[in-house]
Amino acid sequence: MRRIFVGTVVRFDSAGAVTPLQILWTNGETYGIDKILKTEETPALRSNTGFRYLVRIRGQERELGYDGRRWFIMAYD
């Protein structure tokens, strides 16, 4: 299991909630997030903030994470 760091388009609402909308893949492709299936706050190693999302992209479930500095997708080799 490894992290692949990706660009992410997110929405911040007036209450401060973060909603990821799109993934900007390493090859330049953009993928819309069809649905957020699960969200949890997780303490990151280098900061006290972090989020983990279970998302559906093009019919496939993926783990999307934020470590307080960067967004990443979990890859299972």
**Residues 41-65: tens digit of each pLDDT:** 876 555 556 889 999 999 999 999 9
Domain boundaries, the chain: 2-75
List the structure tokens of 24: 């900007």
Residue 49 is predicted with a pLDDT of 66
Counting beta carbons within 10 angstroms of the beta carbon of residue 33, is it exposed (0 to 12), middle (13 to 18) or buried (19 or more)? Answer: buried
User: 37 — alpha (psi -120 to 50), left (phi > 0) or beta?
Assistant: alpha
Q: What is the pLDDT of residue 30?
A: 96
Closest CA to 38 of 23, 24, 50, 56: 56
| pLDDT at residue 39 tops 60 | yes
Buried (b) or exposed (e) across 43-66, using 16+ Cβ within 10 A? ebeeeeebbbbebebeeeebbbbb
